Amino acid sequence: MILVTGGAGFIGANFVLDWLARSDEPILNLDLLTYAGNLETLAMLRGDARHVFVQGDICDRALVERLLAEYKPRAIVHFAAESHVDRSIHGPAAFVRTNVEGTFTLLEAARTYRSTLEAGIQAAFRFLHISTDEVYGSLGPQDPPFAETKTYEPNSPYSASKAASDHLVRAWHHTYGLPVLTTNCSNNYGPWQFPEKLIPLMIVNALAGKPLPVYGDGLNVRDWLYVTDHCSAIREVLARGTPGETYNVGGWNEKANIDIVRTICALLDELRPSPEGSYARLITHVTDRPGHDRRYAIDARKIERELGWRPAETFETGIRKTVQWYLDNPQWIADVQSGAYRDWVAANYGDRGQGA
């Protein structure tokens, strides 16, 4: 069994579904079900004994210790976090609590737990920390993409909290010998992403005829990776990564935000034409995000060289699948937007305490 934290969020849920589609090794899924956690995404696992869900907080040391002692996972894959940059600007406290204190709590619980394991299992134990390229700061137009050796220069409360968590993970390896692995990944997109992030927000707003808010001049650049490619990278790092190492994960897909939005509009024009004309009419430039990082780009050569990982999707194939997925799943979007997914969880998971 492996313990996954944050497995009801966007990437965590995709990882859980992807893992159980390929393996019968069970998953213990610990998630607090904040606004970003949605068990409706995992509906197809209802009744599947390989998925044990526990609603709980990674900052709750007693709970984490009890779960480790009871389920004896061979690895922890740590996704749980506050993940949205704009929210971190308006309310940074939750980011420090979950991303820093929560990671600290998991590391301490893992360290104690691992010391109780017999030698062979202890040697095989892994703590895989899922992090972000935002810890490296912002690139100029001519700068090389982020390599694993790049200095940390986080600029937002979110990226600062993730940088802090990365440093804790590194220290628990260096000082205590905990077999940790860290992945720093670029912007993910794909099915089941909460519509506060750029790509799903633009799709759902366009379908509702609402403005498409592009921050500033729209020329900020991100690297984009289809979420199942991130899942395959995590599987490879967990299976064959070297403890203490970090791996940058990216899609070799640098795009300006305005080009992403135009691409989404063009796909919607093709797949769901509007009688009012192109969706591009809805593009609206709005006030920029404070401290908005200009450019991120990932040098993903290390993970390719050492573990043979490369993304399977191009941006063109991934964005088409994504737009089609949102067109095909209006009920998921409606439930998220209305908050009804919470009723779904209550109806299907009772007290949301525990169970497959």
Q: Tell me the catalytic residues.
A: 133-134, 158
| Cα dist from 18 to 21, 22, 27, 42, 192, whole Å | 5, 7, 11, 11, 13
Token duo for residue 140: 């100029």
DSSP 36: T
Nearest to 12 by CA among 102, 87, 78, 98: 78
Q: Which does 296 bind (CB under 5 to 8 A by kind): ligand DAU, ligand NAD, none?
A: ligand DAU
Which of ligand NAD, ligand DAU, none interacts with 58 (beta carbon under 5 to 8 A by kind)?
A: ligand NAD
45 binds ligand NAD (CB under 6 A): no
- Site membership for ligand DAU, residue 57 (CB under 6 A): no
- List the interface residues with ligand DAU, window 144-183 (CB under 6 A): none
Task: Report the residue number, 280 or 333, with the smaller CB distance to ligand NAD.
Answer: 333
* C-alpha distance from residue 194 to each of 11, 48, 84, 114, 154 (Å): 10, 24, 10, 34, 24
Q: How far is the CB of 246 from ligand NAD (least distance, A)?
A: 13
221 phi/psi in degrees, rounded to 5? -115, 135
Tokens for 146? 């982020």
Q: Contact, 134 vs 165, CB < 8 A?
A: no
Q: Identify which range of 66-74, 130-138, 244-252, 338-346 contacts ligand DAU by CB under 6 A.
A: 130-138
322 is a site residue for ligand NAD (CB under 6 A): no
CB of 228 to ligand DAU, least distance (A): 16
User: Site map for ligand NAD, 88-107, x if CB under 6 A?
Assistant: ----------x---x-----
Q: Which is nearer to ligand NAD, 83 or 138 (CB)?
A: 83
Among positions 197, 272, 301, 321, the unique one binding ligand DAU when judged by CB under 6 A: 197
Separation between Cα atoms, residue 123 and residue 116, nearest integer Å = 12
Q: Supply the DSSP symbol for 146.
A: B
C-alpha 110/C-alpha 66 separation (Å) is: 11
Per the CB < 8 A criterion, the answer to whether 159 and 132 are in contact is yes
Choose which of 51, 114, 162, 262 interacts with ligand NAD (CB under 6 A).
162
Task: Residue 222: name its binding partner from ligand DAU, ligand NAD, none (Cβ under 5 to 8 Å by kind).
Answer: ligand DAU
The CB-of-97 to ligand NAD minimum distance in angstroms stands at 7
Rounded Cα distance, 129 and 346, in Å: 30
Strands 2-5 and 27-31: parallel
Binds ligand DAU by CB under 6 A, chosen from 14, 38, 55, 132:
132
- Restricting to residues 203-222, name those near ligand NAD by CB under 6 A: none
Question: How far is 181 from 161, CA to CA, in rounded Å?
Answer: 18
Helix (H) or strand (E) holding 223: strand 221-226
The single residue among 3, 17, 28, 59 that binds ligand NAD, judged by CB under 6 A, is 59
CB atoms within 10 A of CB 1: 14
Residues that bind ligand DAU (CB under 6 A): 83-85, 132-134, 186-187, 197-198, 201, 213-215, 220, 222, 257, 289, 296
Residues that bind ligand NAD (CB under 6 A): 5-6, 8-12, 31-34, 36-37, 57-59, 79-81, 83, 98, 102, 130, 132, 162, 185, 187-188, 194
